Amino acid sequence: MTEMTPRQVAAKALSLLDLTNLADDCDAAAIETLCAQAVTPFGHAAAICIWPRFVAQARGTLGPNSAVKIATVVNFPSGDLPVETVVAEARQAIADGADEIDLVIPYKALLAGDEAAVRTMVTAVRDVCAPPVLLKTILETGELKDPGLIRNASHIAISAGSDFIKTSTGKVPVNATLEAADIMLNAIRESGRNVGFKPAGGVRTVGDATLYLNLAATIHGPDWAIPSTFRFGASGLLNDILAMLDGRGHSTSASAY
């Protein structure tokens, strides 16, 4: 396998980026900025990932047939809302124009041994995500901690109909890690299903992105990571990607996501 140059990694990472603003103080102006940032001179991000209340605005800004998808979050970030509330959130977001739903599983219930709660939640939200809407399930691996539990959560989410499994909300002390990524990528391989992977939270540089892409290539092959199978959930990563692509080298970002 030919190793990609940092610039090639940057270009690939841009195409896989869910450019994210889930800040508590996000407002309409920030959404306008995010939509503009998602389209660069070097290509466009895969998606923007935003709070549900901004989906309709983003759809109006990007237009009905934008190459940049709109992802939004439900049951976020706590993971402990009632199923009917989460289903209503998802249904409304899709009606407002969301292309992708990022669902936090009830990970606290799973920690307490309740696997059925996870399966019930994912299945219920899957039922309202009619194709081509994608369902990406957030496992909150930094809270699950135990490798066996992360693997189990991955398999439950996959078997219940997830299109992607995602590490984190970005709202807890430990977010994406290579250790969790390894477990989740292997769970996808073990499942035999065409399911994608999304590390989120803490992926800030092209160097970080390289580590995750190399891991995915090792487990699934060099051509596996494309927008339909791999996303980065990040905000600050875009700064480093653009710095690399326009020849400025690496930038730094204080972003927490």
Indicate which residues carry an active-site annotation.
Answer: 102, 166, 198
In angstroms, rounded to a whole number, what is the distance separating the alpha carbons of residues 195 and 241? 26
Contact indicator for 250, 205 with CB cutoff of 8 Å: yes
Residue 70 backbone phi and psi in degrees, to 5? -110, 115
Within the chain, residue ranges assigned H as helices are 6-15, 28-37, 55-62, 83-96, 107-111, 115-128, 141-144, 147-159, 178-191, 206-220, 237-245
Residue reference for tokens 């605005």: 57
- Residues 6 or more apart whose CB falls under 8 angstroms from that of 190 comprise 155
Q: How far is CA 99 from CA 69, 126, 131, 225, in A?
A: 6, 13, 9, 20
What are the tokens at 54? 């901004």
In the three-class reduction of DSSP (H, G, I as helix; E, B as strand; rest coil), residue 196 is classed as strand
Record the tokens describing residue 78, joined without a space: 């706590």
The 8-class DSSP code of residue 65 comes to: T
71 vs 12, 122, 174, 248, CA distance in Å?
19, 17, 22, 30
